[in-house]
Amino acid sequence: MSEFTCNQEIVTVARRSLTQDVWDYLTGGAEAEMTMRRNRHSIDSYAFIPRVLRDMSSIDPSGTVLGQKVRIPVLLAPIGSLQAIYAGGGASSAKAASRFGTMPIISSITEPSLEDIAGAAEGPKVFQLYVRGDRDWIKAILGRAKSAGYTSLALTVDSAYYGIRERQLMNRWLPPSVQAQTGRHLQSAITWELMDYIRDLWQGSFMLKGVGSVADALMAVERGVDTLYISNHGGRQLDHCLGALDTLAEIAPVVKGRAELIVDGGFLRGTDVIKATALGASSVAIGRLQGWALAAGGEDGLVRCLELIEREIINALGLLGVNNFSQLTPDYIRKTEVVGPTHELSTFYHLKERLT
Ligand SMILES: Cc1cc2nc3c(=O)[nH]c(=O)nc-3n(C[C@H](O)[C@H](O)[C@H](O)COP(=O)(O)O)c2cc1C
């Protein structure tokens, strides 16, 4: 798989490898897919302000996330039913993350079991929780995640209801995790009190996934949450939200460093990662791109995808006049107009013609 030349090529191969049903599950969003398109739009609508005549002979693309050094500040976002996209499921993401040198966030609704995924690869891993039971159920699953060695917990809170994903509806196709699920109504009833309960039970590194407003970011910080994972679930839940990068731009100046910020939604390139970091995120996470890379080339494909993003980061930092992420500030970017059409894959401008 090392012959993939750019991530655009990886997505082209993924499109050919996946059935229409699975492609739509992975690639689609909710309703009019406006949130999903705004994710890309918000990223595309920032321009760089480069600096010159600085010594750029050495560039360090590494980052620090949740106190851990990562080779690049790009985590693997949790993906449910990953086994439908690639047979190895969450274990393949964990192995690829470990080989490359970043952290995977493992969905509580993917296969194989959380223990098998934890055992598949070395290195720090985050366990993502969907609440699917009562307090005893929560206690049991967190106990299992702790014993299996997960280093952090991500509680997803943007999913009181399952988004209305019209591609899936029209295909009459549901992912295995949704077909099998019980206890979903308990997810609809999560409150700040239950969040406190879960965090106290876990007693370790904890993040709230699905923060989408300044008001909730402030409430979380006041309750002592140390990591906010800003996300609209890749536009798969509530439609007509802001693009995730615009949400980060609103939240970061208000949080003022009182919590670590992670963001996802539409991140596909090294330049995208740099924009999020300039706005105050410690890292981004990749959802769909992770799935496409696994579909195109399995674990090797995902490692290659991360290598390509690393190459793009080094190139763009060097051209921007920045040796490492700690030097980045909002002065290096500015909001501007977007050139050309924006859809979820508009950054991969070759894709359409290669597929037709
Ligand atoms: C196929 C698929 C399944 C997902 N499953 C989960 C999940 O189980 N738990 C979760 O918190 N988020 C889930 N998400 C949301 C991702 O973690 C992430 O927020 C989103 O994909 C980021 O946007 P991007 O795909 O544009 O990178 C899923 C996303 C996709 C594409």
271 in any annotated domain: yes
Kindly report which listed range (111-115, 173-177, 268-272, 316-320) carries the lowest average pLDDT score.
Answer: 173-177
Active site residue 350: no
355 in any annotated domain: no
14 in any annotated domain: yes
Q: Mean pLDDT, the chain, as a whole number?
A: 96
Q: Judge whether residue 3 has pLDDT over 80.
A: yes
What's the average model confidence in pLDDT over 4-16? 96
For the CA of 265, the closest atom of ligand 1 is: 23
Instruction: Report how many domains make up the chain.
Output: 1
Q: Which residues line ligand 1 (CB under 6 A)?
A: 25-26, 39, 77-80, 107, 109, 128, 156, 209, 231, 233-234, 236, 264-267, 286-288, 291
23 in any annotated domain: yes
CATH code, domain carrying 322 = 3.20.20.70
Where does residue 170 rank: exposed (0-12), middle (13-18), buried (19+ CB within 10 A)?
exposed
Q: Judge whether residue 2 has pLDDT over 60.
A: no
pLDDT score, position 351:
77
351 in any annotated domain: no
User: How does pLDDT run across 156-210, given as a tens digit for each residue?
Assistant: 999 999 999 999 999 999 999 888 878 888 989 999 999 999 999 999 999 999 9
For the CA of 268, the closest atom of ligand 1 is: 27
Q: Judge whether residue 1 has pLDDT over 90.
A: no
Supply the range of the domain harboring residue 29.
7-331
Is 298 strand, coil or helix? helix
345 in any annotated domain: no
Sign of the Cα pseudo-torsion (161, 166, 170, 176, in order): negative
1 in any annotated domain: no
pLDDT score, position 356:
53
341 in any annotated domain: no
Where does residue 107 rank: exposed (0-12), middle (13-18), buried (19+ CB within 10 A)?
buried
User: How does pLDDT run across 226-277, given as a tens digit for each residue?
Assistant: 999 999 999 999 999 999 999 999 999 999 999 999 999 999 999 999 999 9
176 is in an annotated binding site: no
pLDDT score, position 353:
61
